[in-house]
Amino acid sequence: MNQQTNTNQTGKKENGITNEPTHALIRKVPSSYSDHYTREGLNVSEELAEHQHGEYVRALEAAGLRVCFVEADEDMPDCVFIEDAAVVLKKHAMITHVHERRRQEHAAVEAILRKTHKVAQLGGEADLEGGDVLHIGDTTYIGISSRTNQLGAETLGAFLSQFGRRVVKIYVDNCLHLKTGMSYLGNGTLIAISGWFDLNLFDVEDVIYTQSGEHGCANCLRIRDKLLIPEGYPRTEVLLRRFAEKHAIQIQPLDISEFEKGGGSLTCLSLIW
């Protein structure tokens, strides 16, 4: 691993520009979300999902973000996982090309982003979902997964070149998205599932590994001096609290159990810029 001094979503400087997030775009939870996964044999509580989503929104607001909302689409039960629908960087956004059963999700997200961003379309045979895109400093890591193909990564790379960003492709074989198995904590540190990725490709100083049976803690969300982590992973939480204490970061555990049942995680529930 090479040393990396730039950070993302922490108020540090990137390309000489202060990179402190100010906004989050959230999609409301459709009633069809709980219905869909209950039909698939999972016990998903609509009431609890709504409560957990509200707590997530309040955590983003407490971290200093202005939260905007996109209405739910009852025909698209996974629309709450808004991160997959776009890649946002500064005042630019690229609308992605998600799994076929979710393609109707794009229109409402794009309509909102066009009010504040210059929007590009992925197009063609390219496939890309936002869960496969991880920004660290001046580098964007793009997962080549079951949801993002080589053409999608190359198209996004061309889009990001206008910002002088380096793009690194990461092969994802063990999970749905790149950020299912890792995320950036800031301060030169990744959290990742051991053995799932070639971590030599990442320009970071340190890696915290999730503990056995706690893979769900690989997805955390750093915003300025706050680190949101999923509840229910006590041994990995101990490691994250040591990291937080070292860097004067406030940790906030959040219960997102109803979204984990649908394959979601913390970063899935928002677009942040």
* Structural domains of the chain, count: 1
51 as an active site residue: the answer is no
Which residues is 184 bridged to in the sheet?
A: 190
Q: What is the CATH number of the domain that holds 167?
A: 3.75.10.10
Q: What is the dihedral angle through the alpha carbons of 13, 14, 18, 19, rounded to the nearest 10 degrees?
A: -110
Contacts (Cβ under 8 Å, ≥6 apart) of 123 = 97, 155
> Which position among 79, 175, 220, 268 bears the catalytic label?
268
| Residue 4 lies inside a defined structural domain of this protein | no
What is residue 20's predicted lDDT score, i.e. its pLDDT? 87
Has 99 been annotated as catalytic? no
| Residue 241: domain span | 13-272
Nearest to 261 by CA among 29, 25, 72, 75: 29
- Cβ–Cβ < 8 Å for 159, 128: no
Q: 152-176: per-residue pLDDT in tens?
A: 999 999 999 999 999 999 999 999 9
Model confidence pLDDT, tens digit, residues 190-206 = 999 999 999 999 999 99
Q: What is residue 123's predicted lDDT score, i.e. its pLDDT? A: 83
Assigned domain for 180 exists: yes
pLDDT tens readout for residues 17-42: 336 899 999 999 999 999 999 999 99
Report the length, in residues, of the chain.
273
Rounded-to-integer distance, Cα 264 and Cα 273, Å: 20
Look at residue 14 and tell me whether its pLDDT is greater than 60: no
Nearest Cα residue to 152 out of 180, 111, 120: 120
**Domain contains 213:** yes
**What is the DSSP annotation of 155-192?**
HHHHHHGGGT-EEEEEE--SSSSHHHHEEEEETTEEEE
> Which of 53, 97, 135, 177 is flagged as catalytic?
177
| Whole-structure pTM value | 0.92
